[in-house]
Amino acid sequence: MSGSWEKTACILCECNCGLEVQIGGAGNRHFTRIRGDKAHPSSKGYACEKPHRLDYYQNGPDRITAPLRRRDDGSFEEVDWDTAIREVAARLSAVRDAHGGETIFYYGGGGQGNHLPGAYSTATRRALGSRYRSSALAQEKTGEFWVGGRLMGNMTRADFEHCEVGLFIGKNPWQSHGIPRARVTLKELSKDPKRTLIVIDPRRTETAELANIHLQVKPGTDAWLLSALGAVLVQEDRIDRPWIDAHVDGAEAVIAALRDVPVDEHCRISGVSEALLRDAASRIGAAESLAVFEDLGIQMNRHSTLNSYLNKMLWVLTGNFAKRGAQYVPASIVPITGKLDKLAAGAECKRTPVTGDRIISGLTPCNSIPDEILSDHPKRYRAMIVESGNPAHSLADSQRMREALGALDTLVVIDIAMTETARLADYILPSATQYEKAEATFFNFEFPENYFHVRRPVFEAPEGVLPEAEIHARLCEALGAYTEEDLAPLHAAAKQGRAALLPVFFGSVLSNPKLAPMAPVILYRTLGPHLPAGLESAAVVWGLAHQTARANPGSLRRAGFDGEGFEPAEKLFDAILESPSGVIFAVDEQDETWARVKSPNGKIQAAIPELLDELARLGETSADAPDAAFPFVLSAGERRSFTANTILRNPDWRKKDPEGSLRISPHDASQLGVGNGDRVRLTTKRGSAEVPVEVSEMMQAGHVSLPNGLGLDHTTDGGGRVRTGVAPNELTASEDRDWLAGTPWHKHVAARIEALA
């Protein structure tokens, strides 16, 4: 209804702040006003400037509203859904039958705001026998996941609301957020005279401007700085030995390694004053509580997995775990890290079929994907399903990625828009937007109260598109994964209500080797029609509610979901459906965190030999001197006021810096003879681009940065296609990656700059 206010959430970063949106405009198909939702359990009315531009996502000009099939001449033609599903199923099953399901690769499964498709996609993958998958997490977080797995079989988050010292490493939450109510929290932390904000970052970011201590590290030398910081804690005996003795195994190996670190030399290499570093260590060691957040600045950089390890040793050695204002392990609906417990017991990761690279959290390293395709190995990836992802643009070395995608036997894309990846596809299956269906995310990281939010649709989907749950159900049916006869008992039970469906589903589906892998789409087909209108795609959440209740009974009980047997899960599912702003599903006590440490003896396993060896090798070398041919360090993918993920394809959404300027220091601008708005040529070993300059005091000499989210083609009003800004991955190389996790060095790309007349 025109002028009505609806509750939903932002989809542009992991915080997913609650929103209220007013509907209107042509055909009542537009957001006319947007504000924060005060009833949202986490954001509580907070919202930054970015969601106010979400209509550019909902009504983007590149929308696809009918299935498309590639012609022999490379153009696309519209086909009906029955034809598209039948032919896609036939193409994929042919690859499976000829080469094995493990040669069918899956990429995506949801971005910052849509994780339910990933749940439904598991059924399609299992119907095909597909074993290998990946997502953007595998170019960002898998090194940290691996370290968390080895330390405790789990991942931690941190309590910045109550910490005495907050430490951000390679993280600018003023722009990238990542914590609830980021700007409010940062201001409170910075202004409180009893608290300290410490930032480690080569740039003087908005967050660094607020910091009490800014350790402005030279780009790419974080490992030297972090090891020096840990070394001061050890050498000045600022660690919590009684806590370590009670809760940590293997600490002596770490302490011995840090005791030998030459602090003065590591400070020299990292470009940070030793006195300032010692001040930071002193403040950390004396604090009642320390909260730490690392992000892409070190996770997409040299020594990225080692950086994650050294970061975590700061709070392990000072006892900042399982207490107010420190690190914790939250309850989860679905852990985005996958199962990490086996790593804590010393298990090795599975490996990819061609390159033998580590598969962490079930994810193939993104930089390995082209190598897993462009090979004559019999088990190379031969077909690919891409869902809510754009690897041709968003992964390293776009040139090589395009070559790999073009070499596939079959490429199927499920998306709302004609992305760079979709233009390479054999079939495009158009899906509903995130505001045209029930949707949710599994970024549920809060503590002691954690929330979950199933968002209701605020628009009807146009004819010709389907929600992903329906797409996957149709694919599974076309693949013969189940029959109507299989579903008949569930349909009959569902008509009587969930109480009748429970024993049939748990008894006849989950115990059946044929049907259990199809559980998500079976729930969609049988339970979905009996849910409130528009929430059919939330059917899979019923199963997740039961899973959560079994895993966290005390957490649910404290949140008010009590009872015997299935009662807590059923109460939780009811609350999820009835709460348009989200619901608190878990209330925890601090000791609950220890129950989530999954190492065999329940202690933190501090010694990781592979990374202690890498730490030792730091002493044998120094940071690489700049290459004379490429004297600058480019950080590719900076988050700014008006950059976000690439679902916002229309450049008109940006109020500032429409082309995405290259930020350079005043010193470098003077040396190059350029000023604001002047154009330069930026060149790396992989490619070059022309870009305007922004002279910025944020940058130190020799360091430059490009924003993320640009270099996308978009459709103009006249129907033509225009590219705005530089696509960073046209400049990155797939071989530049972490030796252990395979994560790319996007924040440390050697480059040169030439002024253009």
Q: Cis before residue 330, ω within 30 degrees of 0?
A: no
* Cα 288 to Cα 128, 134, 194, 240, 322, distances in angstroms: 53, 39, 11, 11, 13
Amino acid at 504: V
Decide if pLDDT at 352 tops 80. yes
d(CA 68, CA 77): 5
DSSP 454: P
User: What is the structure's pLDDT at 644?
Assistant: 85
d(CA 157, CA 139): 19
Decide if pLDDT at 625 tops 80. no
d(CA 205, CA 247): 36
d(CA 367, CA 734): 5
Mean pLDDT of 730-735: 98
User: What is the structure's pLDDT at 15?
Assistant: 96
User: What is the structure's pLDDT at 4?
Assistant: 86
- Name the nearest CA neighbour of 419 among 649, 704, 183, 690: 649
DSSP 152: H
Amino acid at 754: E
Mean pLDDT of 546-554: 97
Q: What are the φ and ψ backbone dihedral angles of 366, each rounded to 5 degrees?
A: -60, -40
User: What is the structure's pLDDT at 646?
Assistant: 86
DSSP 676: T
pLDDT digits (tens, 9 = 90+) for 137-181: 999 999 999 999 999 999 999 999 999 999 999 999 999 999 999
pLDDT digits (tens, 9 = 90+) for 174-196: 999 999 999 999 999 999 999 99
Decide if pLDDT at 650 tops 80. yes
Provide CB contacts within 8 A for 310, sequence distance 6+: 223, 226, 227, 229, 230, 615
Q: How high does pLDDT run on average in the chain?
A: 97
d(CA 127, CA 479): 7
Percentage of residues in the chain having pLDDT higher than 70: 99
Residue whose structure tokens are 């220091």:
665
Q: Domains (ranges, CATH) in the chain? A: 5-58 (2.20.25.90), 77-96+109-128+430-441+449-587 (no CATH), 142-333+602-616 (3.40.228.10), 632-755 (2.40.40.20)
With residue 559 as reference, give the H or E element that holds it. none
Mean pLDDT of 481-503: 98
3-state secondary structure of 641: coil
d(CA 490, CA 522): 9
35 with 41: CB under 8 angstroms? Answer: no
Percentage of residues in the chain having pLDDT higher than 90: 95
527-545 core/surface letters (b: 16 or more CB in 10 A; e: else): bbeebeeebbbbbbbbbbb
588 with 447: CB under 8 angstroms? Answer: yes
pLDDT digits (tens, 9 = 90+) for 186-238: 999 999 999 999 999 999 999 999 999 999 999 999 999 999 999 999 999 99
Decide if pLDDT at 1 tops 60. no
pLDDT digits (tens, 9 = 90+) for 262-278: 999 999 999 999 999 99
d(CA 127, CA 110): 20
